[in-house]
């Protein structure tokens, strides 16, 4: 059962985001709207600028944690890719999420990957892969992302496999966009129920991001990829979201490829509800469950000799 706060938050997003954006695909309007919806970062987390693979971003770690470079099995590294429709948002805006993971014991790097339309596909993927290549050299790590960032996390898995890089031990995806062709049934069945997006405006963002590239390219629509050999995946998505079936369809295809998958569909909550972790119990539950999932996967991936030591 959804909390009362979930119902209130759903209404707030309808009024503050969906009504303001309308059917617009004006990049400046969308950026201002998302930036205005900033949420407080959790206390007890240090956020410091950084760079990995030539891509700027910021580190998030619990205050008092060992200095950067001291990651290990007790303080694993997480690459978090923020959402924003490929055109908006930043690492700083996502501090509620990265900060929560930091308090859960992760050393988190959130890159400020390049955004469209100034830097269209595949610039963001190139940045994400470059960051992952740098992280993978330091030891086992995991990846997570929401919405467009979830798309980029899955595209990073695809590219890392193609390039022969070490794959993340697991991936946590919050309402990822997995099919930019727009074939999910929830695009139609949830078009009125979704608190944040109108179908028309969401689909008009696709050409802004792709700039003529093929939406069937697995890097753009990860559901088109061969998923065999993927690490364990976790999906959290809202029942009312337009993007709901992007998660459910991808999860089913992954299971058919032999990939371990966990899926939770949350009632009522709007898209990107994890940002409201300061007051929404469903946000804290989602982030806590994702952190536990990623830790279990890292523990399972540890060499037997290290585990026995």
Phi/psi at 270 (nearest 5 deg)?
A: -85, 170
Strands (E), 121-274: 141-146, 171-174, 233-238, 261-266
* Closest C-alpha to 125, from 50, 207, 219: 219
Any catalytic annotation for residue 175? no
**Catalytic residue (one of 201, 271, 282, 286):** 271
134 alpha carbon, distance to own chain's centre? 19
Say how far apart CA 121 and CA 213 lie, in whole Å: 7
Whether the bond between 122 and the residue before it is cis, its omega within 30 degrees of 0, is yes
Any catalytic annotation for residue 82? no
Strand partners, 45: 62
Parallel, antiparallel, or unpaired for β 45-52 and 233-238?
Answer: unpaired
Q: Which residues contact 58 (CB under 8 A, 6 or more apart)?
A: 47, 48, 49, 50, 91, 92, 98, 109, 110, 112
**Catalytic residue (one of 58, 82, 147, 175):** 147
Side-chain-facing half-sphere of 44: CA atoms under 13 Å = 8
Any catalytic annotation for residue 147? yes
Report DSSP state, residue 17. I
**Catalytic residue (one of 126, 224, 241, 277):** 241
Q: State the catalytic residues.
A: 147, 241, 271
């Amino acid at each position: 059962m959804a909390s009362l706060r979930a119902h209130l938050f759903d209404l707030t997003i309808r009024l503050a985001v969906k009504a303001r954006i309308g059917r617009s695909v004006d990049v400046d309007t969308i950026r201002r709207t998302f930036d205005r919806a900033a949420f407080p970062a959790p206390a007890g987390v240090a956020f410091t600028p950084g760079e990995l693979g030539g891509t700027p971003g910021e580190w998030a770690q619990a205050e008092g944690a060992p200095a950067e470079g001291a990651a290990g099995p007790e303080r694993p590294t997480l690459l978090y890719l923020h959402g924003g429709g490929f055109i908006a948002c930043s690492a700083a805006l996502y501090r509620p999420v990265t900060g929560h993971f930091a308090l859960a014991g992760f050393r988190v790097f959130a890159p400020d990957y390049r955004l469209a339309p100034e830097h269209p596909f595949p610039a963001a993927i190139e940045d994400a892969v470059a960051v992952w290549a740098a992280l993978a050299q330091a030891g086992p790590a995991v990846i997570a992302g929401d919405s467009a960032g979830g798309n980029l996390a899955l595209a990073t898995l695809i590219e890392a496999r193609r390039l022969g890089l070490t794959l993340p031990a697991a991936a946590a995806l919050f309402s990822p966009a997995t099919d930019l062709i727009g074939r999910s049934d929830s695009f139609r069945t949830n078009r009125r129920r979704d608190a944040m997006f109108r179908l028309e405006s969401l689909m008009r963002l696709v050409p802004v991001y792709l700039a003529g590239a093929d939406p069937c390219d697995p890097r753009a629509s990860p559901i088109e990829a061969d998923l065999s050999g993927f690490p364990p995946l976790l999906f959290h998505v809202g029942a009312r979201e337009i993007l709901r079936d992007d998660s459910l369809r991808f999860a089913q295809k992954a299971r058919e490829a032999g990939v371990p998958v966990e899926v939770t569909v949350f009632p009522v909550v709007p898209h990107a509800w994890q940002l409201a972790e300061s007051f929404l119990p469903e946000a804290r539950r989602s982030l806590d469950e994702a952190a536990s999932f990623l830790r279990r996967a890292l523990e399972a991936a540890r060499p037997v000799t290290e585990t026995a030591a």
